[in-house]
Copies of this chain bind each other. A is one copy, B any other.
Amino acid sequence: MASTEIEALVQQLARLPGLGPRSARRAVLHLMKKRESSFAPLLAALQTVSERLVTCGICGNIDTQDPCAICADPRRDARSLCVVEEVSDLWALDKSRLFPGKYHVLGGRLSALEGVRPQDLSIDALVARVAAGGIDEVVLAMNATLEGQTTAHYLAERLEGYPVRLTQLAHGLPVGGELDYLDEGTLAQALRARRPMG
């Protein structure tokens, strides 16, 4: 149909999460019709990011600067450290702007199945950050999966003895969650952690 170059572009775009072949095609058409207002700015933005992409040497975030925008921000509370599995978790949490502190990205989770061991994650660096002092609280914001929770427990062991408060994200009903549709595990957690009425 179209030339091989355009087909190649459609295929590359179709590999992005959230896009399939159909929407990739529509996106390419959109770009080709709006060359000045869409194609050129997108290409420029991609080029800029591609040239400048670095992993933050402090927290493991991916950014266009090292230290990343979060680590470099003096308004953020350096005494609170939130540990996450992946950069995507950092972004998801930070989008809400609810956490005022800094982050530490492990780069994965411990997994016997996938052969991910402690030395494969950025755990020594985390311990070193905590050992360096100045941190009051470490939030272990792992996913609520078996592997995430195993990782959290391992980290808690590694951080034992340091003068920091270890906390975890609350488990329970998601906002808008209907009991009828929730899995037993979530219900069990919510029941176990039940609180007195406000």
Contact = CB atoms under 8 A, between A and B. Distances in A.
Contacts of A3: 63-65, 68-69
Nearest to A62: B32
A195 interface: no
Contacts of A32: 49, 53, 62, 87
Contacts of A128: none
A105 to B, nearest CB: 11
A74 to B, nearest CB: 16
Contacts of A131: none
A189 interface: no
B87 A1 contact: no
A41 B13 CA distance: 10
A191 to B, nearest CB: 31
A170 interface: no
Interface in A9-40: 9, 11-13, 15-19, 23, 25-33, 35, 38-40
Identical chains in the assembly = 2
Main secondary structure of the interface of A (DSSP, over half): helix
Interface stretch (A88-96, A141-149, A154-162, A172-180): A88-96
B45 A39 contact: no
A1, A35, A48, A94 interface centre (most CB from chain B within 10 Å) = A1
A79 to B, nearest CB: 20
B18 A49 contact: no
Contacts of A193: none
Nearest to A46: B43
Given A19-B18, A45-B8, A29 B87 contact: yes
Given A12-B41, A13-B42, A39-B53, 10 more contacts: A1-B69, A2-B68, A2-B69, A5-B48, A12-B46, A17-B26, A18-B27, A26-B88, A32-B49, A35-B53
